[in-house]
Structures are given as C-alpha cells and as structure tokens.
Chain A
Amino acid sequence: MSGGGIGGGKGFLSGLFARRGSAPVARDRLQILLAHERAGGSEGQSDLIAKLREEILEVIARHVPIDRDKVQIKLDRGAAMTTLEIDVEVPGLKLGGAAAAKSVSQ
C-alpha cells in the first residue's frame, strides 16, 4: 500500500506513462501561473481587465442598449497569449440573442 506505484488498477505500462505525465504538467501550470502573479500581481491584472471591460462596454453602449449585469467575462491565461472574452447580451437587438466582443491582450 505505502509508496506503491501509480495507475490504480491499470497495467504496468500505462502506469509508467502516467508517471512520466503528471510532473511536467504541474511544472508548466505553475510556471504560467507564477509568471502572471509575479508580473504586477493579480491586482494589476484585474485592474487592466476592469479597464478593458469598461472601455469596450462604453463603445458598445454607444450603439446599443446593454444590461451591465448580463456581461460575462472569461479569461484564459496562457504561456504566450492571454485570451480575454467579453460576452455582452443585447436584449433589444432582434438579430439573434447575443453579441460577443472578443479581444486579445498581452
């Protein structure tokens, strides 16, 4: 039981590959996360996101009425690129239900 191999009920070979698999994934995840946290900290980043959100919404609001509470913001921090996705529900608009604005930062 103690110090046993990985892979639960799986075979030896798949256990071998699983073992090789997980540590590099952990290292990559940490490197990406810490790079973002050290560079200005999460605070600076969330300020940037708030600024981008406000300005993008301002532009949209100039043309169509929008409900501020129905804005969804999604973020995906990557190693080379971060994707910021802003979904804006436009209730008055008859073409479809929602319009989406996408922007890429960094």
Chain B
Amino acid sequence: MAKVVVVTSGKGGVGKTTSTAALGAALAVGSNGSPGKNVVVVDFDVGLRNLDLVMGAERRVVYDLVNVVQGDAKLSQALIRDKRVETLSILPASQTRDKDALTPDGVARVIEELRERFDWILCDSPAGIEKGAQLAMYHADEAVVVTNPEVSSVRDSDRIIGLLDSTTAKAKAGETMAKHLLLTRYDPARAARGEMLLTEDVLEILSIPLIGIIPESEEVLRASNLGSPVTLSNPDSAPARAYFDAVRRLQGETLEMQVPSDRKGLLSWLFGRRVA
C-alpha cells in the first residue's frame, strides 16, 4: 500500500528539500536487502520551487502541481521521470503562482491519484506553518521532521509536531501520525566539545523517534551543485550512507544508530581547510 510522507520542519534552510531528494532517491534505488520502490517526490513550495533544481530536472519542467490541481494538465503530463533512476519521478511546484492556487480538494485528488501509481509519495513542505505547509502535511500517513541541532530549529520542530498532531487528516480522524526525527547538519566533533546540542538533548525535548543523523558534509553542497540527490551523486559518502540507513528505518527495519563519517587523507584535509 502506498505511503504518503511529508518532509517538514517549520524552519527554513534546515535541509527539507535536500533530504526529500536524498530519501526519495535512496528509496527508489533500494539497498542491500530492500528492492527499489516506485517513488515520487512532490514539491509543495508554490512560488519558490527548488526541488526541481536539487533533483536536476529544472530544464524539463512543463507542467506543475498547480496545473494538475486546477485541471489544466493530466498528472501523467506533469510528472517528470528521473533520468538516472527509472522508478523515481518528480512533481514540481509552480514558480509563478502563489500558495492560494492550491485547494484542499484539488490536492486531495492529486494525492489519491499518486497513491495509485507509486509506493512512496514524499511531499517536500514549504517552510513556515501556514497554508502551504499545512496542505503538504494534511494527507500524510507519516512525517519526517527535519531538525538541525540548534535552538530555533528545535523550537520550530516542536511547533510542527503540534500541528501534525492536530490539523492533519489523520489527527482529525482520531489517529496518531507516525513522526520521525531526521537530524541534519550534525557535527559530532562540535557536539563532543559541547558546542552543539547533543542528539540525546534534541530527542529528549522533541520525544519522537530518531530516523537518522546526517553529518554536516561538503558532499551535500556538491550534490546540489550537480543537481543530483547525494544518495545518487556519491552513495558511499557519509551523508548518503546516513540517508540510506534512514530509508531502511522508514521501511520498518531496526538498525543500530550511528553517524557515518568520511575517512580523509592528510592532503585533502589540508586542501579542504584552505578553501573553506
């Protein structure tokens, strides 16, 4: 049965779009033991779309979510199939309209149709807690809450968790939505030096289960430069491995939690220092 997952955070810039792309691609290619799934990543950030750019599909957008919601295009015409992974598609947001172009009924229809075609539907939420963010989460079965180990991000995540538990279709039906914490931009060295909130601190405050810890890495910027999810551009890199683990947990596996790290030579370390 298809699963609708909203990737949300409240705060902007914490890695929702990056994570949507990386998780979607990881689900679609599969990993040892779990075969690739049919996946669509949906951009709900109407007016400020960016998932197309991060996925490297920006040149190929013809129709978007708003066109489908308003009946100007068929879903099949708006879906863009990824050129690298056959089972991965993207449904872009509109760049020219505003949030009001999406209607709750229209979004419901599109989500229903997506459920028939795909195993996983990952909805990239806009930042904030207003209409756009609420529409992105409304039909979700589960939520991935992207959080940085930083005070304002944790506070906003707490707010979003409250909304997930009160304003979604699941909440209104009296059910609880499964929520997963994805900790991004985590720097184990700084956390060890007491300069960054510890994973345990964040978990204790938000009290939702942890699905992954994505280490701060230059590979993430490189991936977005190239227009490729990091799980495709460098699947062996530390952040990619963390995303692959997160995807296995999302599918119900129990894995030991660890923060993958990249082994580096002295020279590349020096070089990295100089440029950074």
Query: Which A residues lie at the B interface, using CB under 8 A?
Result: 1-9, 11-12, 15-16, 18-19, 21-23, 25-26, 29, 32-33, 37, 41-43, 46, 49, 69, 71-78
How many A-B pairs fall under 8 Å by CB? 109
Inter-chain CA distance A42–B52, complex, in Å, is: 14
Partner-A contacts on B (CB < 8 A)? 53, 56, 58-63, 67, 74, 76-77, 94-96, 187-190, 215-219, 221-222, 224-227, 234, 236-238, 261-265, 267-269, 271-273, 275-276
With A5-B269, A5-B271, A22-B222 given, name 7 new contacts (CB 8 A): A5-B272, A7-B264, A8-B238, A9-B236, A42-B96, A43-B96, A75-B62
Name the one of A2, A25, A33, A74 contacting B62, with C-beta atoms under 8 angstroms: A74
The residues of A that contact B218 with a CB separation of less than 8 Å are 4-6
CB-defined A-B contacts under 8 Å, sample of 9: A1-B215, A1-B216, A4-B218, A5-B265, A5-B268, A46-B62, A46-B63, A73-B77, A77-B58
Determine if B269 and A33 form an interchain contact, defined as CB atoms under 8 angstroms apart.
no
Flag if A15 contacts B271 (CB, 8 Å). yes
Do B264 and A75 touch across chains, with their CB atoms under 8 A apart? no
Chain B residues lying within 8 Å of A77, measured Cβ to Cβ, are 58-60
Give A71 to B74 CA distance when docked, in angstroms: 10
Known contacts: A29-B53, A41-B96. The answer to whether A72 contacts B77 by CB under 8 A is yes
Chain A residues with Cβ under 8 A from B67's Cβ?
Answer: 46
Q: Determine whether the beta carbon of B268 is less than 8 Å from that of A49.
A: no
Q: Does the CB pair A37–B95 fall under 8 Å?
A: yes
By Cβ-Cβ distance, the 9 closest A-B pairs, closest first, are A5-B272, A5-B268, A26-B225, A22-B225, A8-B237, A77-B59, A3-B276, A43-B96, A22-B222
In the complex, what residues of A have CB within 8 A of residue B238's CB? Answer: 8
Chain B residues near A73 (CB-CB < 8 A): 62-63, 77
Q: Say which residue of B225, B236, B271 sits within 8 Å of A25 (CB atoms).
A: B225
> B263 to chain A: which residues have CB within 8 Å?
9
B60 touches A3 (CB 8 A): no
Chain B residues near A6 (CB, 8 Å)? 218-219, 222, 268, 272
**A90 vs B73: C-alpha distance in the bound complex, in angstroms?**
19
Q: Which residues of A contact B94 (CB under 8 A)?
A: 42
Residues from chain B with Cβ under 8 Å of A75 in the complex: 59-62
| Residues in B neighbouring A41, C-beta threshold 8 A | 95-96
Q: Are B77 and A16 closer than 8 Å at their CB atoms?
A: no
CA A75 to CA B60, docked complex, whole Å: 5
